[in-house]
Amino acid sequence: MKTNNYIEKSENAILHTYNRYQIVLEKGEGVYLYDVDGKKYLDFAAGIAVNCLGYGHPTYTKALQEQAKKLTHISNLYYNTPMMEAGEKVKKASGMEKVFFTNSGAEAIEGALKAAKKYAFCRDGHAGHSVIAMNHSFHGRTVGALSVTGNAHYREAFEPLMGGVKFADFNDLDSVKAQLDPSVCAIITETVQGEGGIYPASQEFLEGLRQLCDEHDILLILDEIQCGMGRTGDYFAWQGYNVKPDIMTCAKALGGGVPVGAFVLGAKAAAHSLEPGDHGTTYGGNPLACAAVRAVLDIYEQEKIVEHVRELTPYLEKRLDELIQEYPCVKTRRGKGFMQGLVIDGRPVGEVVNRALENNLLVISAGTDVLRLVPPLIIEKQHIDEMIEKLKDSLN
């Protein structure tokens, strides 16, 4: 088998920071992936919610090929047209004011935190401000992003991290109020907690955060890295709540598979925070990545991807709810749109993930007991039915 040879070579060359599944993926088509031995998998993981258009989408592929022939990188010392056009499309989709393109979601979080701190510096004339983040959150692996990630397991080996971070409980507005003091410059939360176990924010919680930020002139940062870009049935999950942030972070599906992220500023943050010299990136906003963003948003509009998610969500939820009735180990379901979690009880969720892999289905976990389903946004009913049958075999 080719698989064992490739795995051995990889372990010899690549730093072992991931316990990878023992398959070597080679190519994809539609919502299916194929390994080097020719085995076919139904993909309900989408590269951790990245591959929104699946694999080999002809319009997307052509856009990348055409841009690669022209220009891939020039740095931010110069303008480039794909960045301008991608920025306009992100502005239109979000209804926000200014976009800064990054290389990853973690970098988007770093930029958002800097923008919030600079806003408070301009407001107060001094530094030393703090941030309220949420327990059980996940915002990334860099030092700043890790500092606002509400899971001690991720943080403890790398402390001391960025100071001035206080943690409250997600969906508990009183716990946020208890952390408020004049030093606070921002509140950061995922609109739907992902790694923490697929927990959507409540309407009351997000509205309450927005009110607190308005009353105290602090910035609301909503992390849409996983839940954004159509996954919940709106371009960005906060739009379904009608609660607009001052700063939004996005990545993952933004480039459809090409590494790219962004932090997006509302009018207030854009006018009174980062200035020339405050922030930068060599690769961010490069023509190739921005051609991917431009293509993804064009395809969303042309093929009505967001509407498709909204239309198909009730069927996905119905089929998942049937599993709860049939299998005692599946306790409950939570999520929004094509970001769904099944709570598994009585057996390790990792065992279910591994059984699914044996049954040619790719799914992932979240938290300690949640089976996470984040498929490409182009799935149809027959793919949902196929997933259910494979998941039943795995649960059996």
Instruction: Classify burial at 283, counting beta carbons within 10 Å of its beta carbon; exposed 0-12, middle 13-18, buried 19 or more.
Output: middle
* 317, HSE (Cβ side, Cα atoms, 13 Å): 14
Across the chain, which has 396 residues, the per-10-residue mean pLDDT values are: 87 92 96 96 98 98 98 96 98 98 98 98 97 97 97 94 97 98 98 97 98 98 98 98 98 98 98 96 97 98 98 98 96 98 95 97 96 98 98 95
* 146, HSE (Cβ side, Cα atoms, 13 Å): 14
Q: Would you call 289 helix, strand, or coil by DSSP?
A: helix
Instruction: Please state, in angstroms and rounded to a whole number, the distance separating the CA atoms of residues 387 and 360.
Output: 10
| 371 token code pair | 């089976």
Query: Residue 231 is part of which domain span?
Result: 100-285
269 neighbors 247 (Cβ within 8 angstroms): yes
| 145 token code pair | 């992003």
237 neighbors 379 (Cβ within 8 angstroms): no
Q: Would you call 291 helix, strand, or coil by DSSP?
A: helix
Is residue 1 one of the residues assigned to a domain? no
Is residue 249 one of the residues assigned to a domain? yes
Is residue 141 one of the residues assigned to a domain? yes
191 neighbors 201 (Cβ within 8 angstroms): yes
Is residue 203 one of the residues assigned to a domain? yes
Dihedral sign, CA of 235, 211, 191, 333?
A: negative
CATH code where residue 219 lies: 3.40.640.10
200 neighbors 189 (Cβ within 8 angstroms): no
CA 248 from chain centre, in angstroms, equals 12
Q: Would you call 340 helix, strand, or coil by DSSP?
A: strand
Is residue 182 one of the residues assigned to a domain? yes
DSSP letters along 222-288, please? EE-TTTTTTTTSSSSGGGGTT---SEEEE-GGGGBTB--EEEEE-HHHHHSS--TTS---SSTT-HH
Is residue 150 one of the residues assigned to a domain? yes
Is residue 164 one of the residues assigned to a domain? yes
Instruction: Please state, in angstroms and rounded to a whole number, the distance separating the CA atoms of residues 50 and 33.
Output: 14
3-state helix, strand, coil split of the chain in percent (to 5) is: 45, 20, 35
Is residue 248 one of the residues assigned to a domain? yes
pLDDT at position 3: 87
Domain count, the chain: 1
Instruction: Please state, in angstroms and rounded to a whole number, the distance separating the CA atoms of residues 246 and 269.
Output: 6
Instruction: Please state, in angstroms and rounded to a whole number, the distance separating the CA atoms of residues 395 and 327.
Output: 8
The whole model's pTM is what? 0.97
Instruction: Please identify every residue annotated as catalytic.
Output: 138, 223, 252
pLDDT at position 1: 65
